[in-house]
Structure 1
């Protein structure tokens, strides 16, 4: 006792560093002999509400200050056996010191092998750690410059992958560089994907949205424990891409999540995208079809059916889960469950029943090409493209056979409108122009226009919205040039991949990465990407408003130009989005209300007239 009193006095007068408090905690918890063993290896100990956590210190060649990383901290019980398909349960407390020095398992999924294991364009998105249903872990990167007594802003990454794939363990998601260069704490969280995370049978054994509840439980753990790592639980920003961004936008809409964070960054994903959610009826139908197709689990009793599915090996479930057809038709996705997602996302937005906070969001120039090369294999590949007018028309029919028409009656007229809107009238058999037209149609319908609509609805209720449009193709991009600026290309700029000391990126890439990192971090710290106290960026990012609709084009050639107006645009693609958001719904409504007063010929004339006057 006398030793402890003397040590307290020494701390008060500055003879010892404040970090010695950690020694006292560990000393009392695990004893002297274990304490000596831990400290002799230079490990780092943090005392959380779940127990003691051991981290590891990384020294980065391009950064002066080291990073303390805590990798693979469990936040929920392993969702295995009877917990498969169910909502997560808290992990509880562990005994002793939890060793959080390695990246955790990746949630079970089927790796992408379409282009072979050696093609970096696709293999870069494959899990790098063991596949397992025991996968509910999070990672924390803390810059050594973070004072223990000062709370730092926190950025929480949620990965994408169409809700059927994704992991925190990808190289591009490594939070070390972002944390080290910004003095911000970076966290990444895992959630179940595919049937494991989103099988829906409207029953407690398979209620749906388990993956979203995984995320919610991780956010609850972060909110309770991030202070022990030097983080501010009242200054948390969620950021994610694709399905990760969709997830975050659903946290914005869900009454269960509102208190868990303060700001959101949505990269190429919002809740109102056509592929982002489904109804309970459709989700249950898919779930039953999946059960029958997988292992003939054909039972009318849902509990018996789920018990049957729980006996199926994980790899068989993953292999058989793609039961849907068509581009962007992911089989297991979030569902309107009346709990996490109370009603249709657009209705929540229109009513203003969302979290009122600043958001930053945007889309990429060629969002669709990544999906087109997988879907249109007869015409598009890594070495060449072939897209005649006939190919173009057939491709359009394939790409939109499920959307955006409500029934068979309207299908031919909607398809005729889409083909007319995007047709290349000057050179009908030009492979490049026809492929670009397909990319434009799918990008605008599935990504760009929903992002615009989300921003519009959010800003219309007075929220601060910042929109970007990402247009820079990075210098080492392994995908063919015709694919342009792909879905997901902005991620490496945000995480600082180009800033690694041995990275072989161009100076323009490094410049843009520094600028984007600054914008993202400024927004996370203050809610404004333009500044932190006393520091301003070189290019002001205007607020997106319902009238002006201004966005910032993220491209080094514009952001570095003395004429700052070149980087600011309006929209993007306002006219094209009016086609999807206004014209097509009106067309469906008009045709759907007709019984038989028009022949197809007369309807075609009507469609042509409507398009002509809409676009001129």
Structure 2
């Protein structure tokens, strides 16, 4: 028989489920549905309800199309909900709160994909996982659209304000909130660290596998075949011009329409049509009220919220992208294409890069390219970001290094190693995912969650019962692998002295 738990919010009562060792509340609205005239507007307050609202079923994912790495399709804009996982009430109140921002490249992902009970119960923390607008719904810009390109960011700020108002009702401490995110979620945390509207809404942050926060990415080093990528932040004026051009090109607006008329037309375009261009709108915009300055310039200058930070990367980040988007689609890097990729990515420095990463030093050309991409597109930017943070606030850096980690996305025949997203299975569970950890991996998972939740509680991951973890200002990086947690020479491992001289 299902046991229920009821909590009364300022907007009305919600009824969740009492499960083994924890309470689960799902699909709680934190803002009004951004539909109709609310499309591309700031999140509006929730309309209060009467009676008891069911909170046992996940809310709608943000509108998205299924991808090779995420088999979820949604066309419902009514998506501004969150899930909450709470340890048993008998264990007390005033717990640290961890707000989890999912990844998914800016176009995909949902709170429902993550089961945080293991993290919440073992660490005695309240975990909040929101859905927020993605892609063309989160980062679209157009002339006349106020503060465009920041709607997903503002959704997340609405989540944090909701947490400040309501989380005590779930036993959480609104004065001790950690914002954590992986991949695109980590990129968004960098924006929150700079956004004036996020000040005071969270007190610590954990950025896992944040991509290219500070600079550009050479051609092919994100995905083979993809040209050089600009910084992950779009100037507002540039985004508006681009959005207007796309709208006309795709027939969403009548050419020559004034901005007000164009926006009215755009708000009537079917969700399925807008989603066809979603991956062109994943860069948050700066130059407006929500994000006045690009994090790529603000963070190195020290213009960010000074709170304790954890920052980390995977040992083999880029194997995910090379395996999924090259080898798995029948277009692996070959001995013939490798020199071309190096030349197009690094120009006059190509010979030096090729000499440092010779093909005969790797089992396959794809793995050689994955190492270049890991070191240049992931390790170097992560290290630069960590050092920029550490110049102004306490920062702890880690590398997930279990090369036998299970893969969230199957890549048959490709050695995935400690690839992008591989640490997630150690922190949380994936409903229906079918992934299993060995005893040694489970022990590592427990220790990782102890580090994470200790950081959420105290702003420092150090624990007397775990290996020491000095902050990165000393140059220290904590390697996390089964039966070998300890310092690693991250700079040497990824050739960062060499890459510091390269484009």
For normalisation by structure 1, the TM-score amounts to 0.73
Corresponding residue pairs, total: 484
| Greater per-residue helix proportion | 1
Measured in 1, the distance between the counterparts of 2:360 and 2:383 equals 32
Deviations for 1:167-214, whole angstroms, at most 9, x for unmatched residues? 1111xx111221122221111011111101110125336722100000
Alignment partner of 1:333 out of 283, 303, 308: 283
Larger deviation: 466-475 or 74-83?
466-475
| Offset of residue 300 of structure 1 | 4.8
| Offset of residue 136 of structure 1 | 0.4
Please say which structure displays the higher CA radius of gyration.
1
Taking a change above 3 Å as real, the CA distance of residues 382 and 538 of structure 1, as seen in their structure-2 partners, is farther
Alignment partner of 1:518 out of 440, 443, 450: 450
Name the counterpart of 1:19: none
Preserved contact between residue 98 and residue 180 of structure 2 (Cα < 8 Å): yes
Alignment of 1:426-445 (within 5 A): 428=359, 432-445=363-376
Name the counterpart of 1:13: none
Which structure has more relative contact order (CA 8 Å, sep 6+)? It is 2
Name the counterpart of 2:99: 156
Measured in 1, the distance between the counterparts of 2:95 and 2:246 equals 45
Name the counterpart of 2:292: 342
Name the counterpart of 2:112: 169
Name the counterpart of 2:10: 49
Matched, 1:188 2:132: no
Deviations for 1:394-429, whole angstroms, at most 9, x for unmatched residues? 33466x4xxxxxxxxxxxxx4231x22331579657
For normalisation by structure 2, the TM-score amounts to 0.88
Gaps of 5+ in 1: 1-39, 60-65, 115-121, 324-330, 401-413, 560-566, 585-616
Preserved contact between residue 423 and residue 437 of structure 1 (Cα < 8 Å): no
Measured in 2, the distance between the counterparts of 1:553 and 1:289 equals 46
Name the counterpart of 2:225: none
Deviations for 1:115-174, whole angstroms, at most 9, x for unmatched residues? xxxxxxx3xx3338x5411100011111115545x311111100111211111111xx11
Alignment of 1:540-559 (within 5 A): 540-545=468-473, 548-559=474-485
Alignment partner of 2:29 out of 56, 70, 74: 74
Measured in 2, the distance between the counterparts of 1:301 and 1:396 equals 46
Name the counterpart of 1:141: 85
Measured in 2, the distance between the counterparts of 1:89 and 1:582 equals 48
Gaps of 5+ in 2: 217-230
Name the counterpart of 1:381: 328
Measured in 1, the distance between the counterparts of 2:282 and 2:62 equals 15
| Offset of residue 108 of structure 1 | 0.6
Measured in 1, the distance between the counterparts of 2:55 and 2:158 equals 19
Alignment partner of 2:161 out of 220, 227, 249: 220
Deviations for 1:318-339, whole angstroms, at most 9, x for unmatched residues? 123345xxxxxxx431111332
Alignment partner of 1:453 out of 370, 384, 388: 384
Preserved contact between residue 243 and residue 276 of structure 1 (Cα < 8 Å): no
Matched, 1:467 2:397: yes
Matched residue of 1:157: which SS?
A: strand
Measured in 2, the distance between the counterparts of 1:442 and 1:98 equals 48
RMSD over equivalenced CA pairs, Å: 2.7
Alignment of 1:462-611 (within 5 A): 463-474=393-404, 476-477=406-407, 478-479=410-411, 480-495=413-428, 504-531=436-463, 536-545=464-473, 548-559=474-485, 567-573=486-492, 576-581=495-500, 583-584=502-503
Larger deviation: 256-265 or 502-511?
502-511
